[in-house]
Structure 1
Amino acid sequence: MPTTPTTAFSASTHDWRRALLRTARDVADDLATDAIVRDQAGRPPADETARLREAGLLAALTPPLPGGGADWRTGCAVIREVATADSSLGEVLARHYTHAWSSRFYAGHHSASDLEEEAVREQWLWAGTVRAPGSAHDDTGGPDLTLTPLDTGYVLNGRRPVDTAVTVADQFVLDATCVVTGDVLVVRIPADSPGVIAEPARDRLGQRVADAGAVVMDDVVVSSRQVLGNRPQDEESTAPFTALAEPALRLALCHVGLGIAEGALIEARDLGRNTRIPRPAGDDLDLLLTYGELASAAQTAAAVVERATDAMGLALSAGTELDPEEPAAVDVLVATAEAVTTRAALHITTRVLELGDALGLDRFWRNARTLTAHHPATHRLRAIGDHYLNGRRQAMARADA
């Protein structure tokens, strides 16, 4: 069959995807060799993020661009691969990747390209927190971050919790309230800006290398170029594509949870093969039944997550042509993926720890507990039931409230 420009492009895209996944596996293998030691130390991931940058993963995990960027399915596959070896770094990549989409979510596709190309060129690591419209955090007595207008921009003040890379990020994406207009704006703040202070969290139960903490903004000058766009005040005024921002992050974190479950199973199996965990012979029926149940739970969660991932990928590829009803349908799939993954990760990591008390196995349980603590499966299941019975979309966004 003669080669056409379309088939040549498809072949090169397929080869690039395979190469990126091979790189992710190599990075995961590297991280796995000292995962226990790094978890015990709990230090900020300066060396680890340098590994990610050197491998090209930070530049690759950006929205699709001419000649670069990763489609949603490929990006999530990379996140899951790394999370299987080190879920803290998986979470760093998950939040990095979704924050890299922020200019499209809030500024629109046409004005996003220059910023995205600069991010790839500089290999920025993204972090931050943009809260969903109508979340409980909007009703706590006033905004935690405020913008005061200047002639050419704003001054940003306040403090905001950040889940990853608080001391090593290059750019923070944050929402803040203008004190004059009341508008909620999404802004990009370079981490080295004067007045930006990082406060890392200490002695976390799990995800200890994710570098959670808070950022303090003390009279930080924000230029108009750093304003990505408006964050809608409520769900009714949210554009369809913007409505994907919050479920996209939740879905990326599902891949981290899935990586934790799969990593725990792999490590327990390999430790048993090396006889470091005392256990009955390999044909012990009860043991085979247990591992069969755990492997099935992981595969079931993977199937649900993959379905949501495919739906999200199609929605993201639609861009501004996205059907207004599509975000709600995608959100239901994401909520289902969250509920199933949360239960599977907690169950698998608990049972693995019961099967053999080997050094380091506890980190999977601790990481799963920390990752899912603010996203209880019960809340998600109630939201899914509310949507199914009553057709209410808003229950999804408020399920964590």
Structure 2
Amino acid sequence: MSTTALPDWQTRPQPRTAEEWTLRAAEVASVLATDAAARDRAGATPYAEVRLLKDSGLVTLLGPVEHGGAGENWVTAYRVVREVSKADGSIGQLLGYHYLWNWAARLVGTREQWEHVEAEAARNRWFFGGAVNPRDTDVVVTEDGDELVFTGRKTFSTGGKVSDVTVLEGVFEGTDRHVFTIVPSDTPGLTFHDDWDNIGQRLTESGGVTLDGVRTPWSSAAGYVDGEFTPRVYNTLNVPTIQLVFVSFYLGIAGGALETAATYTREKSRSWLHGGYDRAVDEPYVIDTYGDLTSKLWAVEALADAVAAEGRRLHDDPDAVTEQARGEFEVRVAAVKARATDVALEISSRIFEVTGARATTTAEGLDRFWRNVRTHTLHDPVAYKRREVGRWVLEGTLPEPTWYS
């Protein structure tokens, strides 16, 4: 990534409003866009990209103001992720996951724990990764005096070696009790495998990780007091929260695909020789396709914004979150997740219809938008999201909180 023309954020006032933070994210996106296709092809570890997120202040967006954070909320965070993802879906995902793992202490931990984590994260501009793949149950946690010992492997660990700290998840040996903790990413025994080699989201450092006797103090076990965990309904808000992160970078990628394609159509596409038009932008089918795809994107963005605002009310008063409120929110999230998936896949595929054969060159890199969306939308089957909505409509059944609902 070129750093020759980076904005001088250090000498400018920090943004103060949600709108100003969204504009800051757009500045970051403009830097990422300059060589996004080349960086995607190279697939190199995104150290410079994460430094960009830190220097711009985006990593501390949710952090407390008194410790250097912006004190913003999830509504703003989702918009920022969407904006960054227009230029680079991988970096948008990294940022979105960072926000979730930064927030994990508040979701699960005691007040003392999350206040400490959020203060340290803001002061030190920590970038978070997470070794929390719920389909892998082979990380076993044992006790050794005042310490917990994590041993096993996770297939996916987004953030990997570009992170400063990593959220770990495991199950106490011989039980079904899960435990979360945060450790420095260079902790002895924590090994990232650099084996993420997928068709899309290539810069997310989402490869496997081995935990070979990773030790952490018992006191760092999120939400545990004297070895016991007291559950709250708010603990289960992790799923709808991160699913809205997914929605944010799906829609960002789709928006970026449309913007990039439109620029190509205006500047490079040739009209069809038998169509009777001198310019591609005058072709009726081209105009219709852009109108169709843009209308669909705007509709889902509006729904996503509305659902994010509904979620903010739950985040603003965690102790008041009821099972009914949580369930109804998850249904709404499931609905927008389903629509965002379909629209992002459609847009990232159909842009080639209005750019033409020459737009398929590797140098243009238009395929990265589809590859990115296609890769991550397989995270969990969208049919099960539609099922959540359908069951609620037909029988008023709320989704049971699981790792995916």
TM superposition score normalised by structure 1? 0.87
Task: Please say if residues 68 and 122 of structure 2, whose CA atoms lie closer than 8 Å, have aligned partners that are also in contact.
Answer: no
Residue 375 of structure 1 is matched in structure 2 by 380
**Does the CA contact (< 8 Å) of 2:300 and 2:336 recur in 1?**
yes
Conservation of the 8 A alpha-carbon contact between 1:32 and 1:85: yes
For residues 291 and 395 of structure 1, do their structure 2 counterparts lie closer, same or farther at Cα, with a shift above 3 Å needed? farther
Cα deviation, residue 18, structure 1: 3.4
| Structure 2 residue corresponding to 1:362, chosen from 338, 362, 367 | 367
Query: Which residue does the alignment assign to 1:234?
Result: none
Percent pairwise identity = 31
The C-alpha deviation readout for 1:168-226, integer Å capped at 9, x for no partner, is 11111122111155421111121111111001234310011111101111111111232
SS at structure 2 position matched to 1:173: strand
Given that 1:271 and 1:277 are in contact with CA atoms closer than 8 Å, whether structure 2 keeps it comes out as: no
**SS of corresponding position for 2:209:** strand
Residue of structure 2 equivalent to 1:7? none
What is residue 311 of structure 1 aligned with on the other side? Answer: 310
Give 1:72's match in structure 2, choosing from 54, 71, 74.
74
Counterpart CA distance in 2 for 1:131 and 1:109 is: 25
**In the alignment, which of 238, 247, 250 is matched to residue 240 of structure 2?**
247
Question: Is 1:338 aligned to 2:337, yes or no?
Answer: yes
CA distance in 2, matches of 1:212, 1:294: 30
What is the SS of the residue equivalent to 2:223? strand
Q: CA deviation at 1:51?
A: 1.1
Alignment of structure 1 residues 168-183 onto 2, 5 Å: 168-179=162-173, 182-183=176-177
Work out the CA distance in 2 between the residues paired with 1:369 and 1:387.
27
- SS for the counterpart of 2:158 is coil
Amino acid at match of 1:364: F
Q: Is the 8 A contact 2:266 2:281 kept in 1?
A: no
Partner of 2:319: 320
The count of residues paired between Structure 1 and Structure 2 equals: 375
SS of 1:22's equivalent in the other structure is: helix
Which deviations, in whole Å up to 9, do the C-alpha atoms of 1:36-94 show, x marking residues without a partner? Answer: 00000011111111111111211224477776332111111111110011010000011
1:160 to 154, 159, 181: 154
Q: Secondary structure at the match of 1:256?
A: helix
Separation of aligned partners in 1, 2:311 and 2:212: 37
Q: Which structure 2 residues correspond to residues 72-151 of structure 1 after superposition, within 5 A? A: 72-130=74-132, 137=135, 143-151=137-145
CA shift for structure 1 position 129: 4.3
* Amino acid in structure 2 at the alignment position of 1:320: D
Residues 117-148 of structure 1: CA deviation (Å, up to 9, x unaligned)? 0011111111114466xxxx37xxxx311111
Report the CA distance shift for 1:396/1:258 in structure 2 as closer, same or farther (over 3 A): farther
Shift of the 13–244 alpha-carbon distance from structure 1 to 2, 3 Å rule, reads farther
Match of 1:5 in 2: none
C-alpha displacement at 1:329, in angstroms? 1.0
- Residues 1:277 and 1:370: Cα distance change in structure 2 (over 3 Å): farther
Partner of 2:193, secondary structure, is strand
Distance 2:254 2:270 in 1: 19
Alignment-derived partner of residue 386 in structure 1: 391
CA distance in 1, matches of 2:64, 2:365: 35
Gaps of 5+ in 2: 1-12, 225-229, 273-278
In 2, the alpha carbon distance for the partners of 1:321 and 1:67 equals 28
- Amino acid aligned to 1:48: E
Q: Distance in 2 between matches of 1:151 and 1:223?
A: 9
- Residue 180 of structure 2 aligns with which residue? 186
The secondary structure found in structure 2 opposite 1:252 is helix
Shift of the alpha carbon at 1:166? 1.1
Distance in 2 (alpha carbons) for counterparts of 1:13 and 1:328: 37
In structure 1, the residue matched to 2:10 is none
Letter in 2 for 1:46: Y
Higher mean C-alpha displacement, 16-25 vs 242-251:
16-25
How far, CA to CA, are the matches of 2:175 and 2:191 in structure 1? 26
Segment of structure 1 superposing worse, 331-340 or 284-293: 284-293
> Are residue 260 (structure 1) and residue 259 (structure 2) matched?
no
Other-structure match for 1:18: 19
Q: Which moved more, 1:385-394 or 1:39-48?
A: 385-394
Partner Cα distance (1:49, 1:80) in 2: 16
CA distance change for structure 1 residues 249 and 65 in 2, over 3 Å: closer, same or farther?
farther
TM-score normalised per structure 2: 0.86
Q: 241-250 or 89-98, which moves further after superposition?
A: 241-250
State which drifts further: 290-299 or 375-384. 375-384
Q: Helix, strand or coil: the match of 1:200?
A: coil
How far apart, CA to CA, are the structure 2 residues paired with 1:368 and 1:213? 18
Cα distance in 1 for partners of 2:236, 2:101 equals 14
SS of the aligned residue for 1:97 comes to: helix
2:109–2:222 Cα contact (<8 Å) kept: yes
Note the alpha carbon deviations across 1:316-340, whole angstroms, 9 max, x for none. Answer: 0112122342111110111011000
Q: Secondary structure at the match of 1:204?
A: coil
Partner in structure 1 of residue 349 of structure 2: 350
Q: Which runs of 5+ in 1 are unaligned?
A: 1-11, 231-236
SS of the residue 2:78 aligns to: helix
